[in-house]
Amino acid sequence: MTQGAKILLVDDEPAIRDAVGYILRSNGFAVETAASAESALDSLARERFDLMLLDVMLPRLSGMELCRRVRAESDIPILMLTARDAEVDRVLGLEMGADDYVTKPFSTAELLSRVRAILRRRELDRGMTVRVVGSLELDVSRYEARVDGVPVRLTPTEFRLLALLASHDRPFSRREIMQHLWESAYVGDERAADVHIANLRRKLDRDGEADRIVTVRGVGYRLAAV
């Protein structure tokens, strides 16, 4: 159930913490707030959260660096808050392992939609089964991926994307990928799919030899059995 999920809200602006915290609590979520990356790390060390809502602009340790550190240790879904005109922040956030982003200023409906979509995707994915494509094995119910029997750490969005590619032996377009990840017909910048694909390739093909995700020119991306 997405209702009652525990969210860590990280933002150095008290007004944002108060407003967003109120919105989330009013819609049935449990919310803990942190005003800095350091306090967020303390909270993550103490408790388990279902989602982290993270502002890019933080004092001292940036939101990007916090995202990188958290992703190195945890698969907690991360939804980043970015400025509307800061495309580079959105791309960098995805590269660092964020699952999605919402741009400021945002509406209550948009924020809740993104939060619920991420939490719902996590629940749905956990109810699926094992998929095997060549030397790649996905245990979707346990959220585990292995290549040649070796575990591969993936973000929730990367795992969901990989599960999509493994679901059918055909190429998927950028638009199909983003519609799947966002669960919406409106997908914004389809180039975000390229960032997720690049991250997946880097993690799956660490030896630089196998090319599991194949680019099909003019179409999109396909998962190959290697």
Domain spans, the chain: 6-124, 127-223
**Bond before 59 cis per omega within 30 degrees:** no
- Which class would CATH give 127-223? mainly alpha
Confidence of residue 2 (pLDDT cuts 50, 70, 90): low
Q: Is the dihedral of CA 51, 56, 60, 64 positive or negative?
A: positive
DSSP 21: H
pLDDT for residue 187: 56
Beta partners for 30? 6
Tracing tokens 């388990």 back to the chain, one arrives at 48
Confidence of residue 210 (pLDDT cuts 50, 70, 90): low
In tens, the pLDDT along 109-162 reads 989 988 988 888 776 655 556 778 888 888 877 778 888 888 998 888 888 899
**How many alpha carbons lie under 13 Å from residue 139 in its C-beta half-sphere?**
11
Q: What is the CA radius of gyration of the chain?
A: 17
Hey, how many other C-beta atoms are within 10 angstroms of the C-beta on 224?
Answer: 14
Tokens found for residue 131? 């998929």
**Has domain 6-124 been given CATH number 2.60.40.1120?**
no
For residue 195, the one-letter residue type is V
**Contacting residues for 27 by C-beta, under 8 A, at least 6 apart:** 112
Confidence of residue 10 (pLDDT cuts 50, 70, 90): very high
How far is Cα 136 from Cα 48, in angstroms, rounded to an integer?
29
Domain 127-223 in the same topology as domain 6-124:
no
Compute the mean pLDDT over every residue in the chain, rounded to the nearest whole number: 85
Averaged pLDDT, 178-197: 75
In tens, the pLDDT along 22-50 reads 999 999 999 999 999 999 999 999 998 99
